Amino acid sequence: MYYNDNPPPHFHAKYGENETVVAIETGEILAGWLPPRALGLVEEWRERHKAELLDDWRLAEQREPLVRIAPLE
């Protein structure tokens, strides 16, 4: 997540040299590409942490420090 990003609320996910931009609410891919297996893991993580991601989005809009979100275990 970056402080200067525009709506809709989203986050960036990287895997190797690939990157995608994922809408927090819907999981829609807004840009980029990840291999299917990696994208599946990103989707699982997004579903588990949707509320935290939205909280961080609001913090980013206010230029406040973001709260670290745990990775998948």
Confidence of residue 73 (pLDDT cuts 50, 70, 90): confident
* Extents of the domains making up the chain: 10-61
Q: The whole model's pTM is what?
A: 0.91
List, for residues 4-41, the tens digit of each pLDDT value: 899 999 999 999 999 999 999 999 999 999 999 999 99
Q: How far is residue 41's CA from residue 6's CA, in Å, rounded to a whole number?
A: 24
Task: List the one residue out of 17, 13, 14, 8 whose CA is nearest residue 54.
Answer: 8
Instruction: Please count the other Cβ atoms lying within 10 Å of the Cβ belonging to residue 3.
Output: 11
